[in-house]
Structure 1
Amino acid sequence: MITTVTLNPCMDTGIILDEFLYGGLNRVDKNMYDVGGKGINVSVVIKMLGIQSICTGINYFDNKEILEKFLNKKGIGYDFVLAPGRLRNNIKIFDKKTGTITEINEKGSFISDEIIYRLKEKIIYYARQSDILILSGSVPQGVDTSIYGQIINDVRNLSVKVILDADGSLLKAGIHSKPYMIKPNIYELEGIMGRKFKNIYDIIDSSRSLVEQGISLVIVSMGDGGAVAVDKKSAYFAPALSLDVKSAVGAGDSMVAAAAAAIIKGLDLADTLKMASAAASATVIQSGTKLCGLSDFEYMLDRIKIIPYK
C-alpha cells in the first residue's frame, strides 16, 4: 500500500487569459477549479496507474466536504486530521500569449501542536501498513520546517520506504533524516549543494553524494532538460521529449507517483526513471491543473529514451 501525506491541501483556481496585463483589466477566457495539494495529486496519478493509495494529512472543518467529495469521486481512500479553519485557495493565471504561469498561493490556516501530534500518530499507524510513505508539499502556518525530518525519524524502524518531495528548508531538514528517495528539481538540488551546475555530470555527482549520505534513490527533474535518476549502482538520464507544453503544474507530483508505482512493482532504476518521465511528460501537455491520463502516459512511455551514465 502507498500512503500519501498532504499537510497543506488547497483549492486550485486556474484562470486562462489570452494575455495577462499587469495593472490592467484582464478578461477571463476560461476558469478551472480543482482540488490540489502535492500529496493529493500524487494519489490521483497513483490511482490512474492502477495502484491504490490512502491520503492522510490535514483537512479543515469549515469546508472539509470539498476535499472529501473530490476523493470520493476519484475512489481514493482518505483519513485526515480535522483542524479549525478552511481549505486554502491557490490562483494560477495562465497567459496564452507568453506561455507563462503566475501563481498566487495562500499560506493555509494556522495549525496547533496538538493537531500535529495527532497527525503524527495517524501517519505512524498507516506507515506500519504501507510499503511506501510519500511526504510532499508545503506546510501551513504553525508547522515547523523540520516536520518531514521528524516524521521520517518517527517511522525509521518500520519497513516502509519514505519518499520526500519538498523544497527549501523543508527539503534540507528532511534530507538529514535520510528518506529512501527524494525528487528535487534542478534548482532545488543546486540549493542543497550551494552551487550552480555546469553540466549533467555535476548533477549526477551531486546526486551520488546524497546517495553516499544514505539516501537510496535521487530523481532530479530538469524541465525541458529531461531528468536524472541515481542510486548506489547506476545513473541514468532521460532526455525531454519535444512536446507542446501547456502547463508544468503537477508534473513533479506525477513523477513522484510513477516512481512510487515503479518501486511497488519492483522495477529497476532505468524503468523507474522511464515511468517517472512518462508521467511528467503526459502531464505537461494538459491544460491548467489537469493531471495525466492513462492513454497519454502509455503513449509517452513508448517514446521515453533512457541513457546510462558512468
Structure 2
Amino acid sequence: MIYTVTLNPSIDLIIEVGDFQINKLNRIERDSKFPGGKGINVSRVLNTIGIQSVALGFIGGFTGAYIQNTLESEGIQTDFVKIQEDTRINIKLKTGRETEFNAQGPVLTEQNIRELYKRLENLQEGDFLVLAGSIPPSLPKTFYADLTRKYRSRGVKVVVDASGKVLAEVIRNNPFLVKPNHHELSDLFGVAIKTLDDIISYGKKVVEMGAENVIVSIAGDGALLFTKGEVYKATVPNGEVVNSVGAGDSLVAGFIGTYIKELDFIKAFQVAVATGSATAFSEDLASKEKIDLLLAQVAIKKI
C-alpha cells in the first residue's frame, strides 16, 4: 500500500479576475476550489491512474471536512488526524499574472502528533511512504529524516519531496526516492548549477550521500533519473503550460504508481514525466486520458 502524508493541507481557492484593481470592487469571473497539499495531490493522481493509497495528515473544521469529503467522493481512502483549528485556505489570484496567498495553517499539539505516529504504525515491509511539502513550525525540522530512518529500517520505501536542510537530512537516511528540481539541487549544495553536466555531477552526489533513486526535474528541458549507477534523461512532451501547481507531485505519483505495478525504473520514469506534463498542461491535476496521450512523446535516453 502507498501512504501519503500531508502535514499542512489546504483548500486551494483559484480566483480569476479580468481587470483587477486595488481599493475597488472586483468581480470574480470564475472560481474553483480543490483539496490542496503535495501528499494529497499524489493520492489524487495515484487514484487517477488506478492505484490505491491512504491519505494521512492533519485536518480540522469545515475546511478539513471539505477535503476529506472530496477525497472520499473520488474513492480515495483517508485516515486523517482531526485537529481543533480549521485547515487553511490558500488563494491563487489569476489576473493576467498569478498571485498566491498562502496561509500559515493551524498549530499542532503533541497529542495530534502522537495520533499521526499511531496511524503510521500500520505500515509494513514493502509499503511506500510519501512525505511531501513543508514541515509546519509545530514539528521538528528533522521530522521527515526521523520518519525516513525509522521506516526505512522496517523495509518501507520512503519517498520524499522536500528542499533545503530538510532534504539534506533526509538523504543521509537512505530514502527510496527524492525529487529535487534543478533550483533545489543548487540550494542543496550552495552552488550555481547552470549546465546539464552540472546537474549530472550533483545528482550523482545526492546518490553518493544516500538516496537510492533521484529524479531531478529541469522544467521545459525534461528530467534526469539517477538509479542503479546509471543516468537517464527524459524529454518533455509538447504543450502549453497552464498550471504551475501539482506537476512535481504528479511526477512522483506517476513514478511510484507505475513502479509498484511494473518494477521497472525506466518505464516508471517515462510515465512520471508524462504525468507531470499532463498536470502542467491542464487546469487541474492530470487526467488518465491526458497522460496516455502524452506518454508516446516522452523519450528516455541513457547518458
Q: Using structure 1 for the length normalisation, give the TM-score.
A: 0.92
- Alignment match, 2:53: 53
Contact 1:108 1:141 in 2 (8 A): no
Deviations 1:84-113 (A, max 9, x none): 101101111223x3xx42221111100122
Give the share of equivalent positions with the same residue, in percent.
Answer: 34
Over 4 Å off, 4+ runs: 19-26
Give 1:180-199 correspondences, 5 Å limit.
180-199=176-195
How far apart are the structure 1 equivalents of 2:106 and 2:67?
A: 15
Q: Given the superposition, is the C-alpha separation of residues 220 and 53 from structure 1 closer, same or farther in structure 2, using an over 3 Å criterion?
A: same
Equivalent residue for 1:110, pick from 94, 101, 107: 107
Check conservation: 2:63, 2:88, Cα contact below 8 A.
Answer: no
Give SS of 2:59's match.
strand
How many residues end up aligned between the 2 structures?
303
Structure 1 distance, partners of 2:81, 2:125, is 18
Which residue is 1:246 aligned to?
242
3-state DSSP class of the match of 1:142? coil
Indicate conservation of the 8 Å contact 1:3/1:130, yes or no: no
Task: Quote the RMSD (CA, aligned, Å).
Answer: 1.8
Structure 1 counterpart of 2:164: 168
Partner of 1:140: 136
Shift of 1:44: 0.7
Structure 1: runs of 5+ lacking an equivalent: none
Instruction: State the 1:270 CA deviation.
Output: 2.3
- Spell out the pairing of 1:1-310 with structure 2 (5 A cutoff): 1-18=1-18, 26-61=26-61, 63-95=63-95, 97=96, 100-123=97-120, 125-128=121-124, 131-287=127-283, 290-309=284-303
State the Cα distance separating 1:130 from its structure 2 match. Answer: 5.3
- Note the alpha carbon deviations across 1:7-61, whole angstroms, 9 max, x for none: 1110000112335556776442211111111111100100111111111111114
| SS of residue matched to 2:193 | coil
Unaligned runs of 5+ in 2: none
Deviations 1:138-183 (A, max 9, x none): 2334122211111112213211100000123332332232211101
Question: In 1, Cα distance between the equivalents of 2:27 and 2:231?
Answer: 47
Alpha-carbon distance in 2 for matches of 1:260, 1:21: 44
Paired AA for residue 300 in structure 1: L
Superposed CA offset, 1:251-290 (max 9, x none): 0110010111122023433222211110011111112xx1
Contact 2:165 2:188 (8 Å CA) reproduced: no
Q: Deviation string for 1:217-260 (max 9, x for gaps)?
A: 10111211211111133111112223111112110110010111
Q: Is 2:172–2:211's contact at 8 Å kept on the other side of the alignment? A: no
